Structure 1
Amino acid sequence: MRAVTYDSYAKDNSRLEYREVPDPKVGPGQVLIQVRAASVNPVDWKVMAGGLDGMMDAVFPVVPGWDVAGVVSRTGPDTPEFAPGDEVMAYARKDVVQGGTFAEYVAVDAPAVAHKPAALDWAQAAGLPLAGLTALRSLERLGVGPADVLLVHGAAGGVGSLAVQLGRDRGARVIGTASERNHAFVRELGAEPVSYGDGLTDRVRALAPGGVSAVADFVGGQLETTLAVLTDGGRHVSVADPTVEQHGGHWIWVRPDGAKLAELAAVVDRGALTVEVAQTFPLERTGEAFDASRTGHTRGKLVLVP
């Protein structure tokens, strides 16, 4: 099969190569997915740069990618949940960095897989797993409900845009930081937009004079503002800043979870959640997709299509 690989860590795209690699083996409790789309997440190029080497082993050559949507090609032994032809999606992170989703086929443990909601096309479905599970886990850790005023840092991004929708679905009032060019988009999602940058604390206080009861940081570097606008007893999480744990917050690191992904699919099916796709690329242009992701200004998801 054809896949994107790199044979050593690199902080740029110099080691990326699109080439022939062996087909994945399919073990017990696994499904082989023919990839229809695979989304790019910042963690993909951060892993390529060696950013998780202290936490996860890499077996080179690495096929990157942790998100996938596609069709079950075949199943391994003892995998009754799925059958060939099923349309599925998965957050396919494994215990080692190796056989990822930027390929024509990927083998994934069945407990990480969920059926694709009919309301999403392939690119949207590929953009849901990691970002959606991160947003869901963040809001569950915060315990967001109808009594909350939720501040989302990075409300127009891949994770933030989903968190806004899930927050509104839970009945919360949502305020979202975004650049002015994305304010209309954030409003469409159901949040009150506010520009990030100098003066953010004052702008949030103007919208919520009594403070906000929950904060989800999907950007990093927002701790000072978060602490300044939180009410007494307020809760906060971050996916980008582990130092929040020194200030009463929680650092979120999401795990593969097909059951939780199925919950997100149910929210999609009842019309309360959708996925914004910013741009699609063929697999051989993965480097361009990484460059777009590195800017940190993408609205929604970047997706690779074999």
Structure 2
Amino acid sequence: MRAVTVSRFGGPEAVEITELPVPPVGTGQVRIKVAAAALNPVDAAMRSGVFGGEGERIGLGWDVAGTVHAVGDGADWSVGDRVIGLATGHRTPLGTHADYAVLDADAVAPAPAGLDDAHAASLPLNTLSAAQSLDMLDLREGQTLLVTGAAGGVGTHAVELARLRGLDVTALASADDEEFLASRGADHFLARTRTPEPAAFDGVLDAAGLGRAALAAVRDGGTYIGLWPGREPETERGIRVDALDVRADGARLAELSRHAGTGALLARVARTYPLDEAGRAHARLADGGLRGRIVLVP
């Protein structure tokens, strides 16, 4: 079978298509025949060596949508079930950008009703990141939240989920995204060319990675959550500062999948590429300017 891997770190030119055996399925696991797998910025980070692993062959891909192909002992799934799932962390030699992927059974959820595989594949990493970040913020109904990078994959889902929690949400993004974000549940909008009001928000989800500029918008004693552990700013004014380390969670993903099936969470696909053109897909991701995920289709 084919798998997208890197054996040296670098840009899109480092991406390889490797022939590997179909992976065995172990106890408590399922093997998924991949129908679609989203390409995320974290894949570019792995390709370029941010997570280490020099000298190893590293498999790329965290998100997956497809059908259950084989079931290990103790896994409560059936062959043919249509599923989505999240594989996290450093993988040698196989990720989800492959013809087949093996995941722990508790990292898998039913695919959302009414969505095709490409759109379903865009959901796991971004929706779980948004939901778990909001959990870390621990804001109560009516409290104020600023989401930076609000038109991106994680940011948009954070706006949508914050609306469901009854938070007062301000979205910070490009001026062109104001109408879109209002349609997804933002109560207020702030163009990214403007500086947020100092100490104005109970919490900030800094999906854009603005760091200290976003921290300045948090009230004394509030909460700042970033998306890249180790890159968060130092605390000040009694603000709780933390960063998300996203976890696979099939039960939570099932809930988010249901929201996507009703339209409460919007799955966005910018473009699809055949698996064999993964290098071109990485190059397009590097160009930026996308609204929605690039998805690889075996």
Same fold at TM > 0.5: yes
Q: Partner of 2:62 in structure 1?
A: 66
**Alpha-carbon distance between aligned partners in 2 of 1:301 and 1:147, rounded to the nearest angstrom:** 31
Contact 2:37 2:63 in 1 (8 A): yes
Taking a change above 3 Å as real, the CA distance of residues 267 and 145 of structure 1, as seen in their structure-2 partners, is: farther
Shift of 1:111: 1.3
The answer on whether the counterparts of 2:57 and 2:92 sit within 8 Å (CA) in structure 1 is no
1:14 CA drift (Å): 2.2
Query: CA 1:59–1:89 in 2, change beyond 3 Å: closer, same or farther?
Result: farther
C-alpha distance in 2 between matches for 1:119 and 1:195: 33
2:215 — aligned with what? 227
Mapping 1:1-306, distance limit 5 Å: 1-8=1-8, 10-53=9-52, 57=53, 60-79=56-75, 81-94=76-89, 96-191=91-186, 192-197=188-193, 200-201=194-195, 204-205=196-197, 211-220=200-209, 222-240=210-228, 242-244=230-232, 246-247=234-235, 248-306=240-298
Shift in Å, 1:18: 2.4
Distance 2:159 2:242 in 1: 19
The 3 A distance-change label for structure 1 pair 289 and 183 is farther
Q: Which amino acid aligns with 1:258?
A: G
Query: Offset at 1:33?
Result: 0.3
**What amino acid maps onto 1:124 in structure 2?**
H
Other structure's SS at 1:28 match: coil
For the Cα contact (< 8 Å) 1:35–1:103, is it kept in 2?
A: yes
TM-score normalized by structure 2? 0.91
Deviation per residue, 1:89-126 (Å, 9 max, x gap): 11112564421111111111111111111132211211
Aligned residues: 293
CA-CA distance at 1:68 after TM superposition: 0.3
CA–CA distance in 2 between the matches of 1:255 and 1:58? 24
Equivalent pair of 1:144/1:167 in contact (CA under 8 Å): no
Unaligned 5+ runs, structure 2:
none
Kept in 1, the 8 Å contact 2:113–2:258? The answer is no
Please list every run of 5 or more consecutive structure 1 residues that lacks an aligned counterpart in the other structure.
none
State the shift of 1:228 in Å. Answer: 2.4
Are the equivalent residues in 2 in contact too, given 1:58–1:98 (CA < 8 A)? Answer: no
Q: Which amino acid aligns with 1:3?
A: A
TM-score, structure 1 normalization: 0.89
Name the CA distance, whole Å, in 2 between partners of 1:270 and 1:13.
Answer: 36
Q: Which amino acid in 1 is paired with 2:200?
A: G
The superposition leaves residues 70-94 of structure 1 with CA deviations (integer Å, 9 ceiling, x where unpaired) of 0001112222x10001011111125
2:93 is paired with a residue of what secondary structure? Answer: strand
C-alpha distance in 1, partners of 2:55/2:74? 27
* Deviation readout 1:206-258 (Å, 9 max, x if unpaired): xxx981211101121x2332232222322110013635363131111111111
Percent identity between the two aligned chains: 40
Q: CA RMSD in A?
A: 2.1
Residues 123 and 144 from structure 1, CA distance in 2 versus in 1: closer, same or farther, beyond 3 angstroms? farther
Moved over 6 A (4+): none
